[in-house]
Structure 1
């Protein structure tokens, strides 16, 4: 990550939901390196506090708060704490998400609803509440973390793909409605990423190598790959980027036609 002078994030307050996860932690570290102040929101308050403390032992530039992104009162309480500490939010990274897998034919409505509550409604609630602070501060930026599953259906994953697809559209609508308020809204859509949540898949070396062969650049994504793009979209360097989705997958989503057999071209 290039330094904060280039990004223009120095002194900005960045709120990261799901900030204790793999991608969230990478965004936290990158934001601190860029001179920003960072608020880590996590469902578990202790985990949020520990994550912030590990990244900033002095406690001057990072704080951790417990927050259920699907609960309006919980998000409002977190926003109030941010306002009291640093005057409000300049950048919101909607990164929190959960997965409750299962085939659609017998997926419970409870699991379907819970995933949408966190993965989709959480983005709207956070945007509404922290967006008001951005308006008061003269503008800001929102970056939503979706997935290539927003456009490529991920089977046996419940509401994951529908929810991420809705997040991408939500971002575009926010970009249109809030652009005049000087608030930009964009999306990053990660592909295969090695995080604590997915590392179990990669313990099998055969599975890892097979997945790596699927990606044109020949490797699995790292959380830092996602953080670099998210922080660019959050920064002044992306001041004229609004309502866009950047796919960060090493080219994986462009390989469909390569799977179609062709005489003389089969790999």
Structure 2
């Protein structure tokens, strides 16, 4: 690889499909080379890599278990050996509650697993990348964007561990925004609502019925591309001075109204 960085490079965790795939494609469209991580390297990840390359970007898959924080350093080493310099981290990887049900029945192992991925894993991946960004300079804008959920503030008693894991991400965003501000590295949170993805496929009928009841003011599913466009805008540096901000992508779901 030439020492000259011809395109900025982004890392999208959980980029194999769904929202992560849409973000990877959006960033490639905006001129990035994109590395994605996920648990599995399969036909879905191959599709994402092809879509990145079809938009002129180089593409890399790195197999990674976000919950295993001991592997984060090596994941970054693998990415940097490919691109040389990382300009954007998108914390997209996450998991839902293993099963929906009464919060009085939540088991410790489910609690630990969900928080281990969505909060602990995300925090320490961000820490590893932030150290790299602080130790290097760049001619391209840099940014860290975390994809959270309306469940960061909206309670769902049948998904207690998921809501708790997401509720800490706004504070994580603020903390890293403060720490990296002096280096001119903005940190943002994108907070999706009900998005049509493989994760929501199993409860699609439930949400369809609630849309008819007016659950979402815009009266439609959010699409993965809606989230991706928001991430793309934040990654490019135009909103650098808005560091620490949250962007709601939920069709008005989270607006308090009466």
Q: Distance in 2 between matches of 1:50 and 1:82?
A: 17
Query: Partner of 2:71 in structure 1?
Result: 74
For residues 102-149 of structure 1, give each alpha carbon's deviation from its aligned partner in whole angstroms, at most 9, with x where no partner exists: 322121111101101100012111111111221233262110111111
TM-score by length of 2: 0.88
Q: Distance in 2 between matches of 1:221 and 1:146?
A: 14
Query: Partner of 2:173 in structure 1?
Result: 171
Any conservation in 2 of the 1:70–1:125 contact (CA below 8 Å)? no
For residues 170-211 of structure 1, give each alpha carbon's deviation from its aligned partner in whole angstroms, at most 9, with x where no partner exists: 111111122112221110111111111112322x3x751532
Q: Distance in 2 between matches of 1:166 and 1:114?
A: 15
1:127-166 mapped onto 2 (5 Å cutoff):
127-138=126-137, 140-166=142-168
Query: Partner of 2:20 in structure 1?
Result: 24
Q: Distance in 2 between matches of 1:56 and 1:246?
A: 25
Any conservation in 1 of the 2:96–2:199 contact (CA below 8 Å)? no
Q: Distance in 2 between matches of 1:29 and 1:103?
A: 37
Q: Distance in 2 between matches of 1:229 and 1:185?
A: 13
Tell me how far 1:252 sits from its aligned partner.
Answer: 1.1
Q: Distance in 1 between matches of 2:185 and 2:63?
A: 25
Any conservation in 2 of the 1:49–1:65 contact (CA below 8 Å)? no
Residues 69 and 184 of structure 1: CA distance in aligned 2, closer, same or farther (over 3 Å): same
- Alignment root-mean-square deviation, CA: 2.0
Any conservation in 1 of the 2:52–2:59 contact (CA below 8 Å)? yes
Any conservation in 2 of the 1:146–1:187 contact (CA below 8 Å)? yes
1:52-201 mapped onto 2 (5 Å cutoff):
52-56=48-52, 61-100=58-97, 101-138=100-137, 140-201=142-203
TM-score by length of 1: 0.85
Any unmatched runs of 5+ in structure 1?
A: 1-9, 259-267
